[in-house]
Structure 1
Amino acid sequence: MKMKRGESGSWSSRRAPTEPRSVLLNIRKADHRVQSGDDDLACYFYRRALQFAGDGALPQEEAAELRRAQAALAEAAGRAHSRRVARLTERGLPPQQWSPRLRESLELAAAPRPYHDHDPARTYAQDPTHHFYPGLPRIQFYDPARFDWVQALESATAAIREELVGLLAKSRDSLRPFVRNADGRPMGVGKALVDGQNWGVLALCEQGWADSAYVRQCPLTWDTLLRHAPVPRVPGWGPSAVFSLLKAGAHIGAHTGMYNTRLICHLPLIVPPGCRFRVGDEVREWEEGKLMIFDDTIEHEAWNDGPEDRVVLIFDIWRPELTDQEKLELTMLFSD
């Protein structure tokens, strides 16, 4: 079932507020990230402050802080860029060998200005929190039929669900919050879910690091993903594959993901009636065994209005528009 914004049953009347649009709050978050040595995330918050400030008149305190933030952004972006160049060079990819899109993405990341100019005609743009890669199409939901590996994965739904049920029987008490208190990191997710159990996960693999105990209990799930899905194999970055449980009555607030060079996949395994998912201006309902593929750097949120818990297998894949050369470059850029 698909619905556009404003149609009957749409998300608008129940939408949670997004991250506060406060200039000073975002500058404070950026300053904190600089002090902790995280220039990439500092740039994200400095740029948000500049975006929220716009061209309008500001109170004297905010105007002074904004001028300081502009200088701090230039310094943080320069430091981050130098580290990226050094990392890639050390790994055998000096600047003269960069592909055009990699070069442009690094230049955008180093520029002391907001990430990118939003097209006012587009209500929902790609807005990654960590790295924007240019030239990739803005597609909210991808058609699973365009991927030749999807049928094999969907055909394994019953077997994957059986492994999930067995895992939950042994490890349900080990469910941990999907959203942890992240010390000022951008989330946009309702604060009620932070460090709570309304949205919990059992992680087979996170950011490229597998949990051997869970993988041993779900060998078919793990093997099916690795054999069929084009998952990124980048230590410290990907793949990620988790069983995600959303409790009855829970709502995941609007938020965006970190990198637009990957897509997120949902394989619905246990879905009671009343479970909805929004990406951009379109709302869909999960259907058991029917894969959803979407760009998580476009604002999204989820509801479980059903009487039981909802469980989906979430994993990430490379964007199909990337070339093999670009995937290799991104692996060198993002791997630990």
Structure 2
Amino acid sequence: MAFDAGQADAMIREGVAAMQRRDAATARRLFEALVDPKAGVAPPWLLLAQACRLGGDDAAEESAIDRLLADQPNSLRGLVMKGDCRARAGDDRAASAFYTRALQTAPRDGSVPPALAADLRRVEQAIEANRQSFQAHMEAKLAQVQGMRAGRRFAEAMDILSGRRQVYLQQPNSFYFPGLPQIQFYEREQFPWVAELEAAAPAIREELIALMGDEDSFAPYIRARTDRPNPPNVLLEDPSWGAAYIWKEGALVPEIAERCPRTVAALRAAPMPDIRSRSPMALFSRLHPGTHIQPHNGMINTRLICHLPLIVPPGCGLRVGNETREWEEGRMLIFDDSIEHEAWNRGDETRVVLLFEIWRPEIDAAEREALTALFESIVDY
């Protein structure tokens, strides 16, 4: 039987009123009449699904929701209800998939009715519970095999699979060299020159302490420029993140280098790039208490950044991608700064590291020569 718009509207109002008084049978009968192809009106699949849920008919509810999502794949209420259907059926993986899509679809401006907002909070809790259940299931299975002893890389893959970590990739903001491995932290044992530089750490620290007696030796790490737009960095011209350059833009800084001869000598052991007007680059990086270097990406991915920690109070840390490490005085940290990273000093004293760059070990001699010519041509231009 066909209905005109007025009749359909009256039937919907009557059906909603029936649900409000918990009369699921009447509401379902009215909505089923309206979803009949002969009705000639837009089918109220969501209302029918709600009436079926009220009546405890899970199969009919899910069938109506499937029809709704076929027409409106981003229906927020439909996605939540579909997830609920799968959860009641014991299919937690499918439930999480629909719940996650619902959260991705929800508006970010808070313009969600209170009842639906409560559903979304419930959905978030369900996703987390399912994640924990999935994690426990995997760990129980892997405890029976060799997987749990497969090492750090496997453990990180497990964390990514379970949602405890996200994936961070190289995203340099100036130059990208393809085909390089996505490694956040390199292990110090991979580099034969590290032991020699670490052995010089006490001497370097002595020179640093003498330098710190002269406040003019340090300047804000982020400087304003007149020939470029200033970066939107809260530490612009802020001495809380200070730098005393030993090499800057490829040249020794005489007033610092002369006061730190043992530091200069020790750094010559590292494979620092030699690129006119660009590299080497080496400095003492100072971070005052309460300072947070916000997440950011470096300019290029052809280098690695090295930190030789010299003064490290408690409460300091460095995150690169999905891994956080703490500095230990005298022990090198080496990382890819083209991956998002941040650092902080939540302690009560100043933190200082010797910071410098090296070639990535995966870049061979011919590529280094070509990259040097490329970067120098950019400088010339």
Q: What TM-score comes out, normalization by structure 1 length?
A: 0.61
- CA distance in structure 1 between the partners assigned to 2:263 and 2:217 by the alignment: 19
- CA distance in structure 1 between the partners assigned to 2:312 and 2:322 by the alignment: 22
Q: Corresponding residue for 1:178?
A: 221
The Cα of 1:185 is off from its aligned counterpart by 5.4
Structure 2 residue 266 is matched with structure 1 residue 221: no
Q: Provide the aligned C-alpha RMSD in A.
A: 1.5
Unpaired stretches in structure 1, ≥5 consecutive residues: 1-120
- CA distance in structure 2 between the partners assigned to 1:224 and 1:196 by the alignment: 29
Unpaired stretches in structure 2, ≥5 consecutive residues: 1-164
- CA distance in structure 2 between the partners assigned to 1:217 and 1:230 by the alignment: 23
Write out per-residue CA displacement over residues 231-267 of structure 1, whole angstroms, 9 at most, x where no aligned residue. Answer: 0011122111000110011111111111100000000
Write out per-residue CA displacement over residues 15-65 of structure 1, whole angstroms, 9 at most, x where no aligned residue. Answer: xxxxxxxxxxxxxxxxxxxxxxxxxxxxxxxxxxxxxxxxxxxxxxxxxxx
- CA distance in structure 2 between the partners assigned to 1:185 and 1:234 by the alignment: 25
- CA distance in structure 2 between the partners assigned to 1:150 and 1:208 by the alignment: 22
Q: Corresponding residue for 1:87?
A: none
Q: Corresponding residue for 2:332?
A: 291
- CA distance in structure 2 between the partners assigned to 1:203 and 1:238 by the alignment: 12
- In the alignment, is the contact (CA less than 8 A) between 2:166 and 2:322 conserved in 1? no
For residue 230 of structure 1, give the secondary structure of its aligned residue in structure 2.
coil
Amino acid at match of 1:266: H
Structure 2 residue 245 is matched with structure 1 residue 200: no
For residue 247 of structure 2, give the secondary structure of its aligned residue in structure 1.
strand
- CA distance in structure 2 between the partners assigned to 1:329 and 1:122 by the alignment: 34
For residue 258 of structure 1, give the secondary structure of its aligned residue in structure 2.
coil
- In the alignment, is the contact (CA less than 8 A) between 1:247 and 1:309 conserved in 2? yes
For residue 217 of structure 1, give the secondary structure of its aligned residue in structure 2.
coil
- CA distance in structure 1 between the partners assigned to 2:285 and 2:353 by the alignment: 5
Which of 207, 211, 227 pairs up with 2:253?
Answer: 211
The Cα of 1:173 is off from its aligned counterpart by 2.8
User: Whose helix proportion is higher, 1 or 2?
Assistant: 2
Which of 173, 181, 191 pairs up with 1:129?
Answer: 173
- In the alignment, is the contact (CA less than 8 A) between 2:217 and 2:256 conserved in 1? no
Q: Corresponding residue for 1:143?
A: 187
> What is the correspondence of 1:233-252 to structure 2 with a 5 Å cutoff?
233-252=274-293
> What is the correspondence of 1:91-102 to structure 2 with a 5 Å cutoff?
none
- CA distance in structure 2 between the partners assigned to 1:184 and 1:126 by the alignment: 24
Amino acid at match of 2:282: A
Q: How many residues were matched structurally?
A: 211
The Cα of 1:186 is off from its aligned counterpart by 5.3
- CA distance in structure 2 between the partners assigned to 1:326 and 1:123 by the alignment: 28
- CA distance in structure 1 between the partners assigned to 2:187 and 2:217 by the alignment: 34
Greater Cα radius of gyration, structure 1 or 2: 2
Q: What TM-score comes out, normalization by structure 2 length?
A: 0.54
- CA distance in structure 2 between the partners assigned to 1:179 and 1:220 by the alignment: 27
Task: Identify if the C-alpha distance between structure 1 residues 160 and 262 changes in structure 2 by more than 3 Å, giving closer, same or farther.
Answer: same
Write out per-residue CA displacement over residues 58-100 of structure 1, whole angstroms, 9 at most, x where no aligned residue. Answer: xxxxxxxxxxxxxxxxxxxxxxxxxxxxxxxxxxxxxxxxxxx
- In the alignment, is the contact (CA less than 8 A) between 1:126 and 1:297 conserved in 2? yes
- In the alignment, is the contact (CA less than 8 A) between 2:250 and 2:276 conserved in 1? yes
Higher relative contact order (CA 8 A, sep 6+): 1
Amino acid at match of 1:332: A
Amino acid at match of 1:144: R
- In the alignment, is the contact (CA less than 8 A) between 1:126 and 1:260 conserved in 2? yes
